[in-house]
């Protein structure tokens, strides 16, 4: 495993010691995975505390659904109203870093002001470059993700001539763009964007070929949790895709995570933290044997 160690503020993530777990906290009414279960601030805070207790290394708080075919039109004001109270409370309750999952600089700035200390930008600074300037100003880690198009159109017949090469080229360019905004490369994490403008086969190929991203020399985050390609592979006897909440989908997610870790992922972004922590303990032990 590469020696990637992030030390900032009062936090330290040593990604060379073990695979880390990012717990997902959607403060939205329309998430594909939990259907608005944590839309209220009170429920979201309780869930965030639970994720920390279960062993999450990071909690990723998002206030806008980025599921396929979503309109992606939540206002910055509404997104801020959803996430800021949750982050403000959580940073006082847990001792792990809170990530703000947003591509809007207004939202990111407010989140940082109340304690968020990582930026997770699904657009890799293509929607709002001011997000990158905030990462540089506050000297905090930023996650840059590959997405083909935007959530509303990304799953309409996505195609590539050379999948891995094209994703890798995009991420290489975005790393350079981030550095040009003043972000240290030692603060950058990349995400190939499982499910964001990819077919089921594309997603499987990315998982299989994670090691091909290693020569970008930044840590790799993978987010396969409960996503469509898993539900599609595990379809029921009638040929219908399984629902995201079904136990078979959670098991399938753990299988994907196992492969991702063995192939070089440094961080996995998941809904089921407790199960993932157990999976990773075994897989890291095998990997390091």
Predicted pLDDT of residue 242: 95
Is 9 among the residues known to form the active site? no
Predicted pLDDT of residue 69: 58
Residue 14 lies in a domain: no
Q: Which whole number is the average pLDDT over 237-245?
A: 92
How many structural domains are present in the chain?
1
Predicted pLDDT of residue 128: 97
Residue 176 lies in a domain: yes
Asked whether residue 254 carries a pLDDT value surpassing 70, the answer given is yes
- Percent of the chain at pLDDT > 70 equals 92
Residue 112 lies in a domain: yes
Residue 249 corresponds to which tokens in the numbers above? 């989908």
Predicted pLDDT of residue 41: 83
Residue 10 lies in a domain: no
Whether the model pTM is above 0.85:
yes
Residue 11 lies in a domain: no
Asked whether residue 110 carries a pLDDT value surpassing 70, the answer given is yes
Residue 61 lies in a domain: yes
**How confident is residue 35, by pLDDT bands cut at 50, 70 and 90?**
very low
* Mean pLDDT for the chain overall: 92
Q: Which whole number is the average pLDDT over 119-146?
A: 98
Residue 102 corresponds to which tokens in the numbers above? 């947003």
Which residue has 């599609």 as its token pair?
A: 232
**Of 147-156, 160-169, 178-187, minimum mean pLDDT range:** 147-156
Q: Which whole number is the average pLDDT over 12-33?
A: 86
**How confident is residue 40, by pLDDT bands cut at 50, 70 and 90?**
confident
Residue 163 lies in a domain: yes
Predicted pLDDT of residue 37: 57
**How confident is residue 235, by pLDDT bands cut at 50, 70 and 90?**
very high
Could you tell me the sign of the dihedral formed by the alpha carbons of 185, 166, 261, 214, in that order?
A: negative
Catalytic site residue from 269, 274, 281, 287: 269
Residue 1 lies in a domain: no
Domain that holds residue 90: 19-273
Predicted pLDDT of residue 266: 98
Predicted pLDDT of residue 119: 98
Q: What is the pLDDT of residues 197-225, one digit of tens each?
A: 999 999 999 999 999 999 999 999 999 99
The packing angle between helices 76-93 and 105-113, to 10°, is 20
Catalytic site residue from 104, 109, 226, 227: 227
Q: What is the pLDDT of residues 48-80, one digit of tens each?
A: 999 999 999 999 999 998 766 565 578 999 999
CATH number at residue 110: 3.20.20.20
Is 269 among the residues known to form the active site? yes
Residue 171 corresponds to which tokens in the numbers above? 């991420």
Contacts for 21 with CB less than 8 Å, ≥ 6 apart? 55, 56, 57, 58, 267, 268, 270, 273, 276, 277, 280
**How confident is residue 3, by pLDDT bands cut at 50, 70 and 90?**
confident
């Amino acid at each position: 495993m590469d020696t990637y160690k992030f030390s900032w503020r009062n936090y330290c993530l040593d990604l060379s010691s073990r695979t880390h777990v990012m717990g997902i906290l959607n403060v939205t009414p329309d998430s594909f995975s939990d259907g608005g279960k944590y839309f209220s601030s009170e429920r979201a805070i309780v869930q965030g505390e639970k994720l920390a207790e279960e062993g999450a290394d990071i909690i990723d708080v998002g206030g806008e659904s980025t599921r396929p075919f979503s309109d992606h039109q939540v206002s910055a004001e509404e997104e801020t109203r959803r996430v800021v109270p949750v982050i403000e409370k959580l940073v006082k309750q847990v001792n792990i870093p809170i990530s703000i999952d947003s591509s809007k600089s207004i939202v990111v700035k407010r989140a940082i002001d109340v304690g968020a200390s990582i930026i997770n930008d699904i657009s890799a600074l293509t929607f709002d470059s001011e997000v990158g300037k905030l990462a540089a100003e506050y000297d905090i880690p930023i996650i840059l993700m590959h997405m083909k198009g935007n959530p509303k159109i990304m799953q309409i017949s996505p195609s590539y001539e050379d999948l891995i090469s094209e994703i890798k080229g995009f991420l290489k360019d975005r790393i350079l763009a981030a550095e040009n905004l003043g972000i240290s490369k030692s603060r950058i994490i990349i995400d190939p964007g499982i499910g964001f403008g990819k077919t089921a086969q594309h997603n499987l190929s990315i998982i299989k070929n994670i090691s091909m991203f290693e020569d970008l020399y930044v840590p790799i985050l993978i987010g396969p949790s409960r996503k469509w390609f898993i539900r599609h592979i595990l379809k029921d006897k009638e040929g219908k895709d399984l629902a995201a909440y079904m136990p078979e989908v959670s098991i399938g997610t753990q299988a994907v995570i196992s492969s991702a870790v063995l192939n070089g992922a440094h961080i996995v972004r998941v809904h089921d933290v407790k199960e993932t922590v157990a999976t990773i303990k075994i897989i890291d032990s095998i990997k390091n044997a």
